[in-house]
Amino acid sequence: MLQRVGEGGSLSITMNIIIALLCILTNQVISQTKDIFPARILAEQTIISENSDLYVTCSTFGKKKESMVYVYLLKNGRRIETKPQKQDQNDILFTISTAGLHHSGNYSCVYSPQNYTLSEVVKKGDDIIEILVIANFLPADISIVGPSTVHEGDYVEFQCTVSQHLHTLGGCKFIYAYLRKNDTILQVQVFNVSQMLATFIIDSAVLKDSGHYSCIVLPSKCFYEHEYTVHGTNKVFLQVKVDLISLGLLRYGVITLMVLLVAFLCGSNNKQANADMLEK
């Protein structure tokens, strides 16, 4: 009986300790929330291509600040970077160099007179923007229209599609698509984002066209209509002239041929005239 009471007492003490720890953590969170304030967030571009730089500005303009504060840039409610801000400053620029796909998310800004650690700042700002990082190269699905075994001289058509939702820069409607054979780029075509399709054609297949084909699209490379006409940086003029010696020989040959032809015709006429006279 005493042993059972002892076990119950130990359990009660353990529960009290857990409750006390939870209360301490709760008080810390509450105290932290009291001195962390929302700030505005601004970004010139919310959709960027992979490996480009992301620029985000946190602004405390119009906020009452008694001294230097610490401005926090948060992604999905978690601090990713901190910068101090003097009392006479309003804006802080954060730069993420060579942004990757994992940098996509919801960004916000907060500030506090306290310099908290990474794990302590978990409060979202009131002003939230969504940043989307678009892949430079995206694997696509490829299929052959018709049989996969053809004869030499046959017409072959490949279709390149993307099954998932496709994001492009500035809502671009036409992007580039590559047809690859054994990791070598063979053709470049326009991928129609509204139809989610690009078509590649081999007019007359030959034996060396056998191989493994794949397709990739470039969501960050927009195709503009004026790109149908491509110009170089400058122009050069080439004039082809006939060699004077060759021209002279040509003219001499023509004249000689005409003389010989006239002489032949005259000789023939003379022979015919002589023959007529002898008959008379």
Q: Give the model confidence (pLDDT) of 192-249 as tens digits.
A: 999 999 999 999 899 899 999 999 999 998 987 655 444 455 555 444 444 555 556 5
Q: How many domains does the chain divide into?
A: 2
Q: Which residues pair with 131 in a beta bridge?
A: 105
Q: Are residues 49 and 61 in the same domain?
A: yes
Q: What tokens appear for 117 in the block?
A: 């650690």
Q: What is the CATH number of the domain that holds 146?
A: 2.60.40.10
pLDDT at residue 7 greater than cutoff 90: no
Q: Are residues 151 and 129 in the same domain?
A: no
**Residue 3 in domain:** no
pLDDT at residue 177 greater than cutoff 80: yes
Q: Are residues 163 and 111 in the same domain?
A: no
pLDDT at residue 273 greater than cutoff 90: no
**Residue 158 in domain:** yes
Q: Could you tell me the pLDDT band of residue 275, with boundaries at 50, 70 and 90?
A: low
Q: Give the model confidence (pLDDT) of 246-261 as tens digits.
A: 556 556 666 777 767 7
Residue the block writes with tokens 């060759």:
246
Q: Are residues 90 and 174 in the same domain?
A: no
Q: Are residues 184 and 100 in the same domain?
A: no
As a whole number of angstroms, the distance between CA 57 and CA 15 comes to 46
Q: What tokens appear for 1 in the block?
A: 């009986």
Could you list the residue range(s) of the whole structural domain that residue 111 is in?
27-134
Are residues 109 and 125 in contact, defined by beta-carbon separation less than 8 angstroms? yes
Q: What tokens appear for 127 in the block?
A: 């002003």
Nearest residue to 189 via CA among 148, 231, 161: 161
pLDDT value at residue 230: 46
Which of 115, 134, 153 delimits the end of a domain? 134
pLDDT at residue 29 greater than cutoff 70: no
For residue 160, the surrounding DSSP H or E stretch is strand 156-161
Q: Are residues 129 and 41 in the same domain?
A: yes
Q: Give the model confidence (pLDDT) of 109-120 as tens digits.
A: 999 998 888 777
Q: Are residues 118 and 156 in the same domain?
A: no
Q: Are residues 102 and 144 in the same domain?
A: no
Q: Are residues 190 and 116 in the same domain?
A: no
Burial bucket for residue 66 (CB in 10 Å: 0-12, 13-18, 19+): exposed
* Averaged confidence pLDDT in the chain: 80
As a whole number of angstroms, the distance between CA 131 and CA 140 comes to 24
Nearest residue to 134 via CA among 214, 42, 222, 226: 222
Q: Give the model confidence (pLDDT) of 236-248 as tens digits.
A: 544 444 455 555 6
Q: Which residues pair with 75 in a beta bridge?
A: 78, 107
* Torsional sign, CA 19, 24, 27, 28: negative
Q: Are residues 169 and 144 in the same domain?
A: yes
Higher pLDDT, 13 or 67: 67
